[in-house]
Amino acid sequence: MEAKNIKRRRFIGLGSLTLSTFAFPFPIVDFLTTKATLASDSKKKNNMNNQQKFDAIIIGGSYAGLSAAMALGRSMRNTLVIDNGKPCNRQTPHSHNFLTQDGQTPKEIATLGKVQVEQYPTVSFHEGLAMKGAKTQEGFEITTQSGKVFTGKKLVFATGIADQMPDIEGFAECWGISVIHCPYCHGYEYRKQKTALMANGERAFHMIPLIYNLSNELTVLTQGKADFSEEQREKLKARNVEIIEKEITIVEHQKGHIGGVIFKDGTKLKLDAMYAAIPFTQHTDIPQNLGCEMTEFGYIEVDSFQKTNIPGVYACGDNATMMRSVANAVYQGSVAGAALNGELAHETF
């Protein structure tokens, strides 16, 4: 019989592999892939440690940074991604409005993205925080918090922004979960529910129609005297949108899921969701220190190819646009990577 022709050692080997599929709490292919990935990571880390000069350095390894890295990796550019592993949306339970990834967690999307980028051998990763940047004769020099120094011909800032939380108890715990910033990213999940908008003036009035489209149970919380014109007030009144000028002191919640707000006078308002327009700062001042111009709203100014006013420096993602979403970050990162590669190609041709 054919089975008799199988050597004893080969049979034991096959048996061990089969038994292991019952012993492991996950598919054997995942185990083998993980082993291969770990080996690849170790080899790439060694290569990165031995190599301090790169075609491009990307600061920030979330969606925009990974997208730029993929474009550069596919163009065989020696690329370093510096990332500290703390994306701004790490508290958000699910990401939406991103084709093929709708409903996935931000971490799942970023993890899959990194795994795919790691398949390109010219892309390396360094876990750390970029602290200083300087212009050199060869390009740019980046120094990390641990003292590592890397040189790149070009720079990509995919550093995102840092939201500045108001001094309201419970607000930060709900941010990205039920206290939200974007009707496109989160609004559908809170459709037809009791909703508030914490904002004032023109910014509030820009948001109100977008939110009202999803829920007509809408209250505007201005945190002080409302700054609306008479015409705007009439529009709100006609749609039964209440304006409350009292100051919020507490956001009541259960594990980030809002139940309502308590005002300074002790009164309460029950809610299922609250949008909030809050200020932000750039995660790093390296772009400004290099001379990058900023917009009046605090974003890094870029052209349609994500180029800043400093030759060789690009910016993409939340740090360079008001359109804050995973899909847009991926788009801008891809554009930045392609434009940077094109610049290098023409310079060396």
Range of the domain at 210: 171-276
Do the domain assignments include residue 27?
no
Do the domain assignments include residue 336?
yes
Do the domain assignments include residue 257?
yes
> 248 and 205, same structural domain?
yes
> 149 and 57, same structural domain?
yes
Q: Give 27's pLDDT tier (boundaries 50, 70, 90).
A: very low
pLDDT of residue 95: 87
> 118 and 155, same structural domain?
yes
End residue of a domain, out of 237, 252, 276: 276
pLDDT beyond 80 at 247: yes
Do the domain assignments include residue 25?
no
Q: Quote the number of domains for the chain.
A: 2
What proportion of the chain, given as a percentage, has pLDDT over 70?
85
> 60 and 139, same structural domain?
yes
Do the domain assignments include residue 24?
no
> 120 and 151, same structural domain?
yes
> 309 and 259, same structural domain?
no
pLDDT beyond 90 at 246: yes
Do the domain assignments include residue 90?
yes
> 159 and 289, same structural domain?
yes
Condensed to tens digits (0 to 9), the pLDDT of residues 255-273 reads 999 999 999 999 999 999 9
For residue 341, the domain's CATH number is 3.50.50.60
Do the domain assignments include residue 33?
no
End residue of a domain, out of 235, 253, 276: 276
> 176 and 151, same structural domain?
no
Do the domain assignments include residue 26?
no
Spatial contact of 283 and 162, defined as CB atoms under 8 Å apart: yes
pLDDT beyond 60 at 42: no
Range 278-305 average pLDDT: 97
